[in-house]
Chains A and B, each alone.
Chain A
């Protein structure tokens, strides 16, 4: 257990559905991240939040909408996704964004878009 939990672990959705991914960290961290992991590709950073404020949006399509209500929780709202969005979505947290801080990951949500 890394102290970062994600739900659901698996999700199948149609292109017209709306769903949300949830991440919760129990480490007292202030920075949280969403990553996309596709087979045989490097992790792609999607969004970064620090003290609930979004500090990074790596040109992510608007069909992905993040929400960070507090430093412990992070959501990724999904709507009108495409089949190429099928991937493992990983949440991570770190103490903050000052200096070189280790990121701790959740187990991910395996998403399949039909």
Chain B
């Protein structure tokens, strides 16, 4: 079957760094997406990885290892506004997204 695993909740301190992990099992693979969703708002696109390695975009970076079925989202210099849920989704061979349940990130001052 197809499955995405990510931690349910994480807590971090303002100004620190946090890494949110995601492991996936899909029938075929066409890339890994990360979305951010603030409470009561739309999920917004953060990153897409299809090749192995690290993609950096400002304070946010995303890493992919296809051989390990593993990705992580790295958030640096955490700000209070980064408190949100982070959704991991893998795209299968039919270009359908398989979603994780999301990681709720709590930032403390």
Residues of A participating in the B interface, judged by any CB pair closer than 8 Å: 2, 4, 40-43, 45, 56, 90, 97-108, 110
Question: B28-71 toward A: CB 8 Å interface, digit per residue (1/0)?
Answer: 00110101000011111100101000000000000000000000
- 7 tightest Cβ-Cβ pairs between the two chains A and B: A42-B99, A105-B42, A43-B99, A107-B42, A105-B43, A100-B31, A100-B30
Contact of A2 among B30, B33, B42, B91 (CB under 8 A): B42
Residues of B participating in the A interface, judged by any CB pair closer than 8 Å: 4, 8, 30-31, 33, 35, 40-45, 48, 50, 87, 89, 91, 95-102
Complex contact A42–B42 (CB within 8 A): no
Query: Which residues of A are found within 8 Å of B100, using beta-carbon distances?
Result: 42
Docked Cα-Cα span, A43 to B35, in Å, equals: 12
Contact of A104 among B30, B45, B95 (CB under 8 A): B45
Query: Which residues of B are found within 8 Å of A99, using beta-carbon distances?
Result: 30, 95
Query: Which residues of A are found within 8 Å of B87, using beta-carbon distances?
Result: 43
B45: nearest chain-A partner, CB-CB: A102
- Contact A100 B48, CB 8 Å, known A40-B8, A42-B100, A43-B87: yes
Query: Which residues of B are found within 8 Å of A110, using beta-carbon distances?
Result: 40
Query: Which residues of A are found within 8 Å of B40, using beta-carbon distances?
Result: 107, 110
Query: Which residues of A are found within 8 Å of B8, using beta-carbon distances?
Result: 40
Query: Which residues of B are found within 8 Å of A102, using beta-carbon distances?
Result: 33, 45, 48
A108: nearest chain-B partner, CB-CB: B42
Complex contact B42–A90 (CB within 8 A): yes
Docked Cα-Cα span, A4 to B96, in Å, equals: 20
Docked Cα-Cα span, A15 to B45, in Å, equals: 35
Complex contact B95–A107 (CB within 8 A): no
**Min CB–CB distance B44 → chain A (angstroms):** 6
B50: nearest chain-A partner, CB-CB: A100
Complex contact A103–B41 (CB within 8 A): no
**Min CB–CB distance A98 → chain B (angstroms):** 8
Query: Which residues of B are found within 8 Å of A45, using beta-carbon distances?
Result: 96-97
